[in-house]
Amino acid sequence: MGVHQTKKTVQDLDIINQLILGDTSNEKSGIYILPVFTCKVEIAAALFGLKYTFEQLGLHYSNANEKENGQLFFGVKQPKDCEDSVFNQNILKICHHFQITSKCLVSIQDDDADIKLDVNEEASQTTVKVKDAAEWLMTLFWEKFQNESLETFAITPANEYVAVAEPQTNMGRMARKLKADQIVKELDLTQINLPNGTT
């Protein structure tokens, strides 16, 4: 595979590996990677309403300063008690409603990672070893979001200029919950029952 093994690329691969592997060690797990260009607060509220945990990543170009908006991506993790079909259906409803036309699903089972890509209505699927998944994602998914001048980019945890902030007050948390409940109902999303301590 023609991925440059520069220091930046190694850092990018580390961040992607942390995202797709998380706490799991050879267990069955799933994660959707979604570019979020608009409606980021509403999408985050929908995920909150479903009790789906997600990471926020930024894709930044080499000549951009820290305050310039990079491209925001959500890495949405499938809850352990959520069936594949329910997780997929909910994410696809969110994508349809918020007009997210590109997405990537990484399903991990034992040592294999099944990668399903749908980037600008171009679909593809491949199965690779988990240890090779990050490199495949760099080549097959992340590089699709390069800008027109094909500048070098870095994948980082999203900074405060790009990320959706966690509400800091009780009113903010209540507003998020109300918005989440409204979106979950409006999109007819299927919620899973989790213990109360997970919100």
pLDDT, mean of residues 180-197:
78
Confidence of residue 76 (pLDDT cuts 50, 70, 90): very high
User: Mean pLDDT over all residues of the chain?
Assistant: 82
Q: What is the pTM of this model?
A: 0.82
Question: What number of CA atoms fall less than 13 Å from residue 85's CA on the CB side?
Answer: 0
Query: Is residue 110 situated within a structural domain?
Result: yes
Query: Is residue 71 situated within a structural domain?
Result: yes
Query: Is residue 53 situated within a structural domain?
Result: yes
Residue 35 sits in which domain range? Answer: 7-186
Query: Is residue 14 situated within a structural domain?
Result: yes
Query: Is residue 198 situated within a structural domain?
Result: no
Residue 5 has pLDDT above 60, yes or no: no
Query: Is residue 192 situated within a structural domain?
Result: no
Query: Is residue 1 situated within a structural domain?
Result: no
pLDDT tens readout for residues 102-160: 999 999 888 899 999 998 778 999 999 988 888 888 888 877 876 666 666 778 778 77
State the first-to-last Cα distance of the chain, in angstroms, to the nearest integer: 41
The domain tally of the chain equals 1
Query: Is residue 196 situated within a structural domain?
Result: no
